[in-house]
Amino acid sequence: MRSFDLRASYGGFELQAAARWESPCAALFGASGAGKSTVLEAIAGLRPGVRGSVELDGTRVDRLPAHRRCIGWVPQDSALFPHKSVRENLLFGDHGRGATGEASVRERRFDEVVETLELEPLLERSAADLSGGERQRVAIGRALLPAPRLLLLDEPLASLDRPLRARLVPYLRDIPERMGIPVFLVSHDPLEVSALAQEVFVIEAGRIVTSGAPASVFASAASWGGLRTLGAENRFEVRVLERAGGTLRIETAGGLALSMVRVEGFPEPERVAVRAEDVLIAERDPGVVSARNVFGADVVRIEPLGEQLLVHLEAAGEPWCVKITPQAAKALGVEPGKRLVLLVKAHQILPVR
Amino acid sequence: MSVAEVIDVVLLSLRVGLVSTLLILVPGVAVGYLLARGHFRGKTVLRVLVTLPMVLPPVAVGLLLLVLFSQRFAVGSFLGNVFGGTVLFTWWAAVIASAVMSFPLLVLGAESGFRGVPRRLEQVAATLGAAPGRVFLEVSLPLARRGILHGAAFAFVRGLGEYGATALVAGDAPGRTRTLALAIFERIESFQDRDALVLSAIAIALALVTVGAAELFFGGRER
């Protein structure tokens, strides 16, 4: 059983987050600025200003300094020691608590981590010369080697390319069982959370608003309008042009007119969000369709995202992200510079609080 | 002025500069680290005190040292017992004057070096089980080394050229305490402008080489 109950107040931001979980891998899900990383750093003992308790298997660790908590932490930027080689980075924690294990066990763990994370060719290279994905793999390996009591991962797959993500997901998922190390990760990507965690806590403006199994939390109808907009990639400032029954005609700052369903509690939305997977792409204008919003957009770039692709486009001078499968991308011939048509249902434009 | 005399002056200056820099290296790095990373009351006071020698007239600093190291004060009498006589008017006095005057440069260099070390790295080291001492020695110090060495090079050059405070506490004894700056002044007073110019050229060359090397190897971006 692991738990935290954290409180802090700084710069107008109030953190008041408590959670308790037993699953081997749990996740904290929320938008940027919701307080995810603050919670993670407080658990690791790196936020002296955050009050409250952190408990691991019945032991309070919140009064211990970071170096005595036995909590591994992989920050988003990897934070490798640039003056050390990859091998030296990996072995840094071995001087500390890891040194208590038997040499043969430690060597076996080192070999296993190096093999699984495909670090062998990198071992003698300087950490300063690695690519983003390589850095992240080394950082995960470095945090695992001292066999921490809890491993904290801050957006662990964000900087990895798609093939490596695909290989790394099963490995990260197996860490608790294979190495006996429970994992707590933060992410703003529902796919990542669903792939790795058995339990998810949703944090919004410093408070845990809901929790449960990822599948039920992400699909929860009750969270519509709140939760669904949290991880939404497309966000726009808008003004209302006209109201017609249950529909609103709105306009983005770039001048793109859209239709959305009027939501109770949001008579005059100032901001709206659209999830990347809720946008359809067509090769050309499909004619009469049920989607109320059909507009042209130019492909800017394509980014791998887990098993899917995130296509970045520009419409009316504003950026849009659309999540599609590689097969769909191939069929559409998606490539930078190509003009495509986006379709968004009025229901899928969500007002943001 | 003979070549041997010039060599004497240059060697003594280099010795004074080097020893004074070595003397302040550890305290300078420690104070630089405190200023960069410490959260304590009196930090501003410490910063003001440390930078004071940079803005005070060197002669005033020399006068303070003269009083402090005289046998009437504890420091002077303690050192007197250790050295078996006063340190004033020995080359050690020149070392002390140079050390005090160049201390701020080393501290500022070290402080900027430590400020350039991302906190993230120190935090990660802690989560890997490294106690604060090990974090400092294995992460902060190596990553701040460029700033520290840059500051040390400037402190060395400042020590080489120290005049005001050195003249007061070390005097101007040829062969014993006459450093480059003192020799240049003495030559000017003796209307030996040519000698003064030669010595000045040497001082400029030494400063150029040291500062140039410092900029080349330790200046610019911290990694």
- Domain at A113, CATH number: 3.40.50.300
φ, ψ at B121 (rounded to 5°) = -65, -40
Give A139 to chain B, closest Cα distance, Å.
10
Q: Give pLDDT, residue A95.
A: 56
Determine phi and psi for A37, rounding to 5 degrees: -65, -35
Do B127 and A92 lie within an 8 Å CB cutoff? Answer: no
Q: Is the ipTM of this complex over 0.85?
A: no
Mean pLDDT of A68-72: 94
In B, minimum Cα distance to A81 occurs at B121
Say what percent of chain A tops pLDDT 70.
Answer: 91
Q: Is the pLDDT of residue A96 over 60?
A: no
Give the pLDDT band (50/70/90) at residue A106: confident
Angle at A158 between CA A157 and CA A164, to 5 degrees: 45
| Mean pLDDT calculated for residue range B134-153 | 94
Tokens of A305: 């995202």
Search chain A and give the residue with CA nearest B126.
A67
Q: Is residue B205 part of a domain?
A: yes
Q: Are residues A106 and A13 in the same domain?
A: yes
**Average pLDDT, integer, range A43-53:** 92
Say if A163 falls within a structural domain. Answer: yes
Chain mean position to CA A335: 25
Task: Tell me which chain A residues have a C-beta less than 8 angstroms from the C-beta of B139.
Answer: 81
State the average pLDDT over residues B90-118: 93
Any domain includes A228 = no
Residue B186 is assigned to a structural domain of this protein: yes
Asked whether residue B210 is assigned to any structural domain, the reply reads yes
Contacts of A261 (CB under 8 A, 6+ apart): A246, A247, A248, A346, A347, A349
Comparing CB atoms, the residue among A65, A72, A92 nearest residue B125 is A92
Mean of the per-residue pLDDT values of chain A: 86
Give the distance from residue B20's alpha carbon to the nearest chain A alpha carbon, in angstroms: 29
- By C-alpha distance, the chain A residue nearest B128 is A93
Q: Are strands A199-204 and A25-29 parallel, antiparallel or unpaired?
A: parallel
**If phi over 0 gives left and psi between -120 and 50 gives alpha, with beta otherwise, what is residue A317?**
left
A114 and A181 inside one domain: yes
% chain B with pLDDT above 70:
98
User: Are residues A179 and A51 part of one domain?
Assistant: yes
Q: What's the rounded mean pLDDT across residues A282-287?
A: 92
Cβ distance A146 to B138 less than 8 Å, yes or no, reads no
Residue A353: pLDDT band (50, 70, 90) is low
- A202 and A73 in a single domain? The answer is yes
Chain A contact set for B118 (CB, 8 A)? 79
Can you list the alpha helix ranges (DSSP code H) found in chain A?
A: 36-44, 86-91, 103-116, 132-144, 162-179, 190-196, 214-219, 227-230, 326-332
Instruction: Please judge whether B130 and A46 are an interchain contact, meaning their C-beta atoms are less than 8 angstroms apart.
Output: no
Residues A276 and A207 in one domain: no
Structural domain includes residue A11 = yes
* Residue B143 falls inside a structural domain: yes
* Chain A residues inside the 8 Å CB shell of B143: 81-83
Note down the domain range covering B47: 3-218
- Report the pLDDT averaged over residues B43-69: 90
Which residues of chain B have a CB within 8 Å of the CB of A95? 129-130, 134
Using alpha carbons, select from B191, B158, B198 the residue that is nearest to residue B9. Answer: B198
Same domain for A129 and A177? yes
CATH number of the domain residue B181 falls in: 1.10.3720.10
Q: Indicate yes or no: CB of B131 within 8 angstroms of CB of A67.
A: yes
Residue B194, both tokens: 């040519």
Question: Cβ B127–A65 below 8 Å, yes or no?
Answer: no
Is residue A60 less than 8 Å (CB to CB) from chain B?
no
The token duo for B219 is 């200046």
* Residue B21 falls inside a structural domain: yes
Instruction: Indicate whether A218 and A239 sit together in one domain.
Output: no
Q: Would residue A183 count as lying in a domain?
A: yes
Structural contact between residues B165 and B101, judged by C-beta atoms closer than 8 angstroms: yes
Task: Write the single-letter amino acid at B35.
Answer: L
- Asked whether the beta carbons of A7 and A159 are under 8 A apart, the reply is no
pLDDT of residue A261: 86
Mean pLDDT of A105-124: 88
Mutate to test the interface with B, among A73, A100, A113, A136 (most CBs of B within 10 A): A73
What is the arrangement of strands in the sheet containing A207-212, beginning at the earlier edge strand? A59-60, A51-56, A2-10, A13-21, A207-212, A199-204, A25-29, A183-187, A150-154, A71-74
Chain A 234-293, residues with CB within 8 Å of chain B CB atoms: none
Given an 8 Å threshold on Cβ–Cβ distance, is B127 in contact with A71?
A: yes
Interface residue ranges in chain B relative to chain A, Cβ cutoff 8 Å:
118, 120-121, 123-132, 134-135, 138-139, 142-143, 223
Residue B23: pLDDT band with limits 50, 70, 90? very high
- Cα separation, A145 vs A72, in Å, equals 9
User: Is B77 inside a domain boundary?
Assistant: yes
In tens, the pLDDT along B188-216 reads: 888 988 888 998 999 999 999 998 888 88
Q: Each residue of B169-189: pLDDT tens digit?
A: 888 888 788 888 888 888 888
Q: Is residue A98 pLDDT above 90, yes or no?
A: no
User: Treating both helix axes as pointing N-terminal to C-terminal, what angle do B91-115 and B145-160 enclose, rounded to 10 degrees?
Assistant: 150
User: Which of A115-124, A165-174, A221-230, B196-205 has the least mean pLDDT?
Assistant: A221-230
Domain final residue pick, A171, A199, A223: A223
Using CA atoms, how far residue A349 sits from A275, A302, B24, in Å, is 8, 23, 65
Nearest CA in chain B to A65: B126
Q: Are residues A247 and A132 in the same domain?
A: no
Position A224 scores a pLDDT of: 41
A186 and A257 share one domain:
no
Residue A289, domain CATH: 2.40.50.100
Cα B119 to chain centroid distance, Å, stands at 28
Whole domain around residue A189: which residue ranges? 2-223
Nearest to B129 among A81, A128, A146 (CB): A146
Co-location of A157 and A80 in the same domain: yes
Q: Which of A65, A66, A82 comes nearest B223 by C-beta?
A: A82
Q: How many distinct structural domains can be found in chain A? A: 2
Q: What is the pLDDT of residue B27?
A: 96
Last residue of one domain, picked from the residues A185, A200, A223: A223
CB spacing of B139 vs A81 below 8 angstroms: yes
- Range B1-17 average pLDDT: 87
Check whether residue A128 and residue A47 sit in a common domain.
yes
DSSP E strands: which ranges in chain A?
2-10, 13-21, 25-29, 51-56, 59-60, 71-74, 150-154, 183-187, 199-204, 207-212, 234-244, 247-252, 257-261, 271-274, 280-282, 293-305, 308-315, 318-324, 339-344, 350-351
For residues A151 and A127, membership in a common domain is answered with yes
Number of independent structural domains in chain B: 1
Closest CA–CA distance from residue B83 to any residue of chain A (Å): 43
The verdict on residue A337 lying in a domain is yes
Last residue of a domain, one of A200, A223, A246: A223
Interface touch A79/B143, C-beta < 8 Å: no
Q: Does residue B223 sit within a domain?
A: no
